[in-house]
Structures are given as C-alpha cells and as structure tokens.
Chains A and B, each alone.
Chain A
Amino acid sequence: MESEMKKSMVAKEASGMGKKEQGIMEDVNLVNLGFMDARIKAIDIAAFLDRVQRAGQEGDYRVVELRKALACLLEGEHGRAERVLLSLSDPTLEPIPAAPGKGAAGAWLNPGN
C-alpha cells in the first residue's frame, strides 16, 4: 500500500500542472461544469448511509469500508479518486487458490477480520 501512496504523489505533482499543460482551455469553469453533479452524488451517499443505518445494516463490511474510503474526500491533497480506489482494493499480491465465484463486491473483505 505504501508504494501506491508514493505513486499517488505523482498525481499530487500533477495537480500543480497548469491548465494549458493538461490540455484545458483557460476560460473553462470546471466548477460550473461539475458542481451540481458532485452535489447530488454527495447527498446520495449521505442518504445511503442514513438508509442503511435505519435498517441496522451499517455494520456490513462494505459500508464500513465505504466510510473509510470517504475519509479520503476530506484530505487536502490531490489524488483523492486514486486513494478512494486504493482504500477499497485488495492489497495482497498472491493469487488465491480458486475463484470463489465470478463477481466482485466493490470492497475488499480482509479474511483476517
């Protein structure tokens, strides 16, 4: 996980790139473009957490892991999307003995927990 965090530093450096280097026109207001979408997603997440709490399901490991991942949103450094993904990922390196099924759950269940 440490190396992932180091890689995240590269993205952090990228945040220092000028708009021109990133290929963006100087006069585009990205807040205008994305704020309403981000706002509704934030409210949706809040409502989801309330809903599962009302149902007594906030202890589901996926909800627990999601809440841990959400902490990344409040950090000041660039690279939040990457850190959210890393937070929800299986950090191990060895292939597993056999596939338990086809699907993925969206959050890693640590077998040690």
Chain B
Amino acid sequence: MRYIEPHAHMVSRTTDDYEKLVTAGCKAVCEPAFWAGFDRGSVEGFRDYYMQLTVYEPARAAKFGLPHYSWICLNPKEAEDLSLAKDVLEIIPEFLDKPNVLGVGEIGLNKNSKNELEVLERHIEIAADRDELILVHTPHLEDKLKGTKLIVDALLNNPKVRPERVIIDHVEEHTVRLAKEKGFWVGMTLYPESKCTPARAVDMLELYGMDRIWMNCACDWGISDPLAVPKAVVEMRKRGHAQDVIDKVVYQNPYEFMSQSPKFKLGIEYE
C-alpha cells in the first residue's frame, strides 16, 4: 500500500512515528502550522517555529527517506492578540518562499470570534495575492458548523480565491456538503475521540464520492493516531472497496491537490 499523510503535526511526535509511517507505506508527510499548546509570546517565537517546520523537521523526516512538506500561518487559536498577529503576518511571506512550503495553512477559525475572522481574511488575502494553496482548519465540536459557514463565506468573498486550490479540513457529516458543493476540496480527520472515526469517514466517501476528498490523521500532542489513515484503509478493505479506489483516496487525491504547488514532488518510483 502507498499513501500520503497530508496533515500531521510531526514536531510534536517522536521519531518512532516516522518509522511507523514509512513502514505503513507513507510516501510523503505534510505539516501545517498549528498551535503549540500555549500562546507564543513574540514574533521571534513564531520565527523559531517556522524554522522548525521548514528546516529541522524536513531533515528529521529525511533520515527515513520521507519527503516532508509544510504549510505556514498563524493558527486561529493565537489570533485574539491582533497586534502580535499583525507582526507575525509580516514574516509569513519569507517562509512561504521556502522550498518545502506548499501554501498558507492551517488557517481558519477556532471560537468564531471577530478577531479570528479578521486574521483569517488577512491570511486569505496573502494567499490569494500570491496564488498560494490554502489549507483550512474548521473549528471543533459545537463551533464547527458556524465556523465552516463563516470560513466558506470569507473564502468566496475574495474574488481571487480559486476553490480548487483550497482544502477545507476536519469536515464531518454536517459540514462536508457545505464545503464540497462550493467546489472546495475537503479533508476528513481521523481522531480516536473527536472529529471522525475511520468508519464514519468511509461512510462519507460512499455518500459523497471519492473526488476532491482526502483523509488525514492530524496527529499532534493530543490523543491522536499517526497510523489512522492506514487503519481507514483496513475499513475500506473490509467493506470491499477495490484497491484502485483506495489508492485514489489515500494517494492520488492528496497527490493531485498538492501537486498544484510546483514544489510538491515525489520520487519517480511513486509516480
């Protein structure tokens, strides 16, 4: 089996997890910028983190022959301090130019506040002006429905945004159509306790089709499973899905979306 892990916060995982990913057939791992579990106190704290995402983590992955790509942004959980957010937004473009950075992400909303929305709109402007790919985080639990609606509106309000270059992640049964019907890609995050189980993700694949959709583990420092995507593949096999369908969902789809960035290249053996 081959697959691409399109969303994993590897900075918070042990090196053992790289070995597990590669053993399971992972051919590339992609890491959006996220919240560290605490609010960073200065723009230099963000600069260090972006260096980790663009220099140090790719080197750690390379020890296992695993291509590592990143997305850069200020996470919505740190958007309430508008003054700091403004300073951080100013350094983002220099990191978007790094060779392993695929675009702006994971931007979005967390508690659906006015400041979060303002910072989201600024991120969208940066991405749209540079024609960058966008990876969107949708809020948790009771905030997801409202947040997804606000995010879709914010994206569509920017005439430069091309939906086929945007993936709206963490969709569930009540938000998947909202995003997909507007032409965006959608991601389903497989978590043991929240978001989506492998069985529910496969249900959504069966109901809403295998196009413009991917699955990811979004493993981080919380309760999460770096092998969630291979486990969803097991669920697909149990239900009798053909190998070419499975390959499309877990390899070809993320490949198709991220290949819109000329920086995303896998070795010829994977093509």
Q: A residues near B, CB below 8 A?
A: 4, 7, 10-11, 14, 17, 22-25, 27-28, 30, 33-34, 37, 79, 81-82, 85-86, 88-93, 95-108
Q: Bound complex: CA of A51 vs CA of B174, how far in Å?
A: 29
In the assembled complex, how far is the CB of residue A56 from the closest CB belonging to chain B, in whole angstroms? Answer: 24
In the assembled complex, how far is the CB of residue A29 from the closest CB belonging to chain B, in whole angstroms? Answer: 10
Q: B residues near A, CB below 8 A?
A: 35, 77, 80, 110-117, 139-146, 149-150, 172-174, 177-178, 199-200, 203, 205-207, 210, 238-242, 245
Cβ contact within 8 Å between A92 and B142: no
The residue in B112, B117, B143, B174 that gathers the most chain A C-beta atoms within 10 A of its C-beta is: B174
* Closest partner residue, chain B, to A33 (CB atom): B238
In the assembled complex, how far is the CB of residue B41 from the closest CB belonging to chain A, in whole angstroms? Answer: 16
Q: What is the predominant secondary structure among interface residues of chain A facing chain B?
A: loop
Q: What is the predominant secondary structure among interface residues of chain B facing chain A?
A: helix
Cβ contact within 8 Å between A96 and B111: yes
Q: Bound complex: CA of A10 vs CA of B207, how far in Å?
A: 10
Q: Bound complex: CA of A107 vs CA of B142, how far in Å?
A: 5
Q: Bound complex: CA of A24 vs CA of B237, how far in Å?
A: 10
Q: Bound complex: CA of A111 vs CA of B114, how far in Å?
A: 18
Cβ contact within 8 Å between B245 and A91: no
* Closest partner residue, chain B, to A26 (CB atom): B240
9 A-B pairs closest in CB distance? A25-B240, A99-B111, A22-B206, A104-B141, A89-B145, A104-B140, A85-B174, A82-B173, A108-B142
Cβ contact within 8 Å between A4 and B174: yes
Q: Bound complex: CA of A107 vs CA of B144, how far in Å?
A: 11
* Closest partner residue, chain A, to B141 (CB atom): A104
Q: Bound complex: CA of A105 vs CA of B173, how far in Å?
A: 19
Cβ contact within 8 Å between A11 and B207: yes
Q: Which residues of A contact B35 (CB under 8 A)?
A: 102
* Closest partner residue, chain A, to B241 (CB atom): A23
Q: Which residues of B contact A37 (CB under 8 A)?
A: 199
Given A90-B146, A96-B113, A100-B111, decide whether A106 and B141 contact each other with a Cβ distance below 8 A.
Answer: yes
Q: Which residues of A contact B199 (CB under 8 A)?
A: 34, 37
In the assembled complex, how far is the CB of residue A84 from the closest CB belonging to chain B, in whole angstroms? Answer: 8
In the assembled complex, how far is the CB of residue B123 from the closest CB belonging to chain A, in whole angstroms? Answer: 16
Q: Bound complex: CA of A62 vs CA of B178, how far in Å?
A: 26
Q: Which residues of B contact A24 (CB under 8 A)?
A: 206, 239-241
Q: Bound complex: CA of A7 vs CA of B35, how far in Å?
A: 33
Q: Which residues of B contact A11 (CB under 8 A)?
A: 173, 207
